[in-house]
Amino acid sequence: MMSIRQKKLPIASLERIDDLCADFERAWQAGEPRPIEASLPADSTTADSPADEREVLLAELIVLEVDYRRRRGEAPTAEDYLPRFPEAAAAIDDALREVLPAGEQAARAHGGAFEPPSVARVAELFPALEIVRLIGAGGMGAVYQARQPGLDRLVALKILPEEFGHDVKFALRFTREARTLAKLTHPNIVSVYEFGHAGDTYYFLMEYVDGSTLREVVRSGGLSPEHALAIVPHLCDALQYAHDKGVVHRDIKPENILISADGVVKIADFGLSRILGADAPEETLTGTHQVMGTPRYMAPEQLEGARGVDHRADIYSLGVVFYEMLTGELPIGRFAAPSQKVQIDVRLDEVVLRTLEKEPQRRYQHASQIKTDVQTIVSTRRPDPVATVDYESPAAGSPSTASPSLAEQELAGRMLLTRRRLMERIEQSLRPLFRWQLVQVLIGIAFIAIGAQCWARNTNVPHRVFNGVLLHVYGVVVISQGLLVCTRIKRIDYSKPIADIRAKLDSVRSAYLRAGVLIGFIWWLMWIPVAVSLGFDDVLHPYSLYPSLAVGVVGFAVSVWWYLRMLKSDSPNAERNRRSLAGNSIASAYLAIEEIEQARIE
Comparing 135-149, 202-216, 261-275, the range with the smallest average pLDDT is 261-275
Instruction: Give me the pLDDT at residue 599, please.
Output: 57
User: What per-residue confidence (pLDDT) applies to 186?
Assistant: 92
Say yes or no to pLDDT of 586 above 60. Answer: yes
* Rounded-to-integer distance, Cα 45 and Cα 372, Å: 53
In this prediction, residue 290 carries a pLDDT of: 37
**In terms of pLDDT, which residue wins out, 286 or 588?**
588
**Secondary structure letter of residue 359 according to DSSP:** S
Q: What are the Cα distances from residue 95, in Å, to 110, 112, 167, 247?
A: 18, 17, 24, 28
pLDDT beyond 90 at 541: no
- pLDDT band at residue 198 under the 50/70/90 scheme: confident
CB within 8 A of 272, min separation 6: which ones? 101, 102, 140, 249, 250, 251, 292, 293
As a whole number of angstroms, the distance between CA 352 and CA 334 comes to 15
Q: What's the one-letter identity of residue 294? A: T
Type of residue numbered 493: D
Per-chain mean pLDDT for the chain:
76
Q: Please check whether residue 190 is in contact with residue 258, taking contact to mean a CB–CB distance below 8 angstroms.
A: yes
Query: Which helix H or strand E contains 211, and what residues bound it?
Result: strand 211-213
- Provide the whole-model pTM: 0.51
- The predicted pLDDT at position 135 comes to 85
- Look at the chain and count its residues: 602
Cα-based distances in Å from 538 to 205, 409, 448: 71, 73, 22
Please check the confidence at residue 49 and state whether its pLDDT lies above 60. Answer: no
Is 158 known to sit in a ligand binding site? yes
State yes or no: is 244 an active-site residue: no
The answer to whether 344 and 378 have CB atoms below 8 angstroms apart is no
Q: Which of 87-91, 282-286, 310-314, 511-515 has the highest mean pLDDT?
A: 310-314
Give the span between the Cα atoms of 260 and 162, in whole angstroms: 30
Residue from 132, 133, 152, 135 nearest 258 by CA: 135
| pLDDT over 50 at 395, yes or no | no
DSSP 8-state code for residue 196: E
Active-site residue (options: 251, 269, 345, 373): 251
Is the pLDDT at 390 greater than 60? The verdict is: no
Phi-psi region of 105 (alpha: psi -120 to 50; beta: other; left: phi over 0): alpha
Is residue 401 scored above 50 in pLDDT? Answer: no
506 pLDDT more than 80 = yes
Above 50 in pLDDT, residue 288?
Answer: no
> Confidence class of residue 504 from pLDDT cuts 50, 70 and 90?
confident
- pLDDT at residue number 189: 92
With contact defined as beta carbons under 8 Å apart, do 352 and 407 qualify?
no
Per-residue pLDDT at 602: 52
Q: Which residue has the higher pLDDT, 235 or 580?
A: 235
* Residue 552 predicted with pLDDT over 60: yes
- DSSP assigned state of 381: B
Chain-centre distance of CA 289, in angstroms?
32
The DSSP call for residue 115 is -
Please give the pLDDT value at position 27: 83
pLDDT tens digits, one per residue of 15-46: 677 778 878 878 887 778 888 888 887 654 44
Q: What gap in Å lies between CA 527 and CA 523, rounded to an integer?
A: 6
**Distance in angstroms (rounded) separating the CA atoms of residues 80 and 456:** 55
For the ranges 42-46, 269-273, 407-411, the one whose mean pLDDT is highest? 269-273
9 contacts 56 by C-beta, under 8 angstroms: yes
Cβ pair 300, 18 in contact under 8 A: no
Q: What is the pLDDT of residues 366-388, one digit of tens each?
A: 999 999 999 888 887 654 444 33
Quote the DSSP letter at residue 116: P
Which residue segments constitute the domains of the chain, with CATH numbers given? Answer: 4-99 (no CATH), 119-207 (3.30.200.20), 212-403 (1.10.510.10), 414-598 (no CATH)
Residue 440 has pLDDT above 80, yes or no: yes
Band of the pLDDT at 292, cuts 50, 70, 90? very low
Percent of the chain with pLDDT over 90: 14
Predicted confidence at residue 577, as pLDDT, reads 64
Over its C-alpha atoms, the chain yields an Rg (Å, rounded) of: 31
Q: How confident is the model at residue 539 (pLDDT cuts 50, 70, 90)?
A: confident
Range 255-267 average pLDDT:
88
Distances (CA, A) of 327 to 20, 29, 118, 360, 416: 22, 12, 39, 24, 17
pLDDT digits (tens, 9 = 90+) for 354-367: 999 988 999 999 99
